[in-house]
Amino acid sequence: FRLAVPDSCPPGALARLIAAARRHELILEPRPLPPAERAERVRVQEVRAALVAVPADEAVWTVPLGLAQTAEPSGARIHLETLRAGRTDREPPRRVWLQPEDEVPHVRDPLGRLRDAVGLRPAQVRSASSLAAATAEVLGSRDLLLCSAAQAGELGLFWRPLGETALVRGYDVAATVRADGDRIRTLLGDDVAHCLGADTAREARG
């Protein structure tokens, strides 16, 4: 059973997902891919199903996003407006880096509107070619990474939710045969949630 999954899923979590599938007599073969490729592989039937990115109100699993950095923040939240560059600042403006998993309209566009609303420069919200590339930018500077709390923990970064808005990754299963999608949701819902870094798996929609 070829299943396209986010390429940000940790190997250990994927291994547990495979093991859980075997207990249900399902031989799972995960294919880690970025969002657009996952949807395309289902469309051309190169995989039987895919965990696809959807808005939160359409999602079975949701993953809250926040900002992570190398230094521990002083507050319970990070407000994007605090990154606004002053005229007398000598250091380069701090940037927020997006990984490919968040290059989807329901995450990227609200963040872009917030950037403009609080007066940040366009270049202060940037996209990286990979999670590793985005993390490298953060490790070597005062920049921040947009990510889940689980990812921040794996990367050794300090994570806080955004102060001005709630950004969420949403996921559902797309499958060429509806029964295949239902099997993933019902049999492996909690294990998929763990892979995605979601707190819990919501009950599958009928």
CATH number at 41 reads 3.40.190
Instruction: Please check whether residues 147 and 185 belong to one and the same domain.
Output: no
The answer to whether residue 33 is domain-embedded is yes
pLDDT of the residue at 206: 28
Residues 132 and 159 in one domain: yes
Average pLDDT over residues 144-169: 96
**Do 55 and 98 share a structural domain?**
no
- 71 domain residue, yes or no: yes
167, pLDDT greater than 80 = yes
Q: Do residues 152 and 71 share a domain?
A: yes
Q: Which value, to the nearest 10 degrees, does the dihedral of the CA atoms of residues 148, 150, 152, 153 take?
A: 170
Tens of pLDDT, residue by residue over 46-104, are 999 999 999 999 999 999 999 999 999 999 999 999 999 877 777 889 999 999 999 99
Give this prediction's pTM: 0.91
> What average pLDDT does the structure give for the chain?
93
* 21 and 104 inside one domain: no
Q: Is residue 20 part of a domain?
A: yes
* Residue at 22 is within a domain: yes
203 assigned to some structural domain:
no
Q: What is the Cα–Cα distance from 153 to 143, expressed in whole angstroms?
A: 17
> In three state form, how does the secondary structure of 20-46 look?
HHHHCCCCCEEEEECHHHHHHHHHCCC
What residues pair up with 30 in beta bridges, in sequence order?
3
Find the domain containing 9 and state its range. Answer: 2-60+169-196
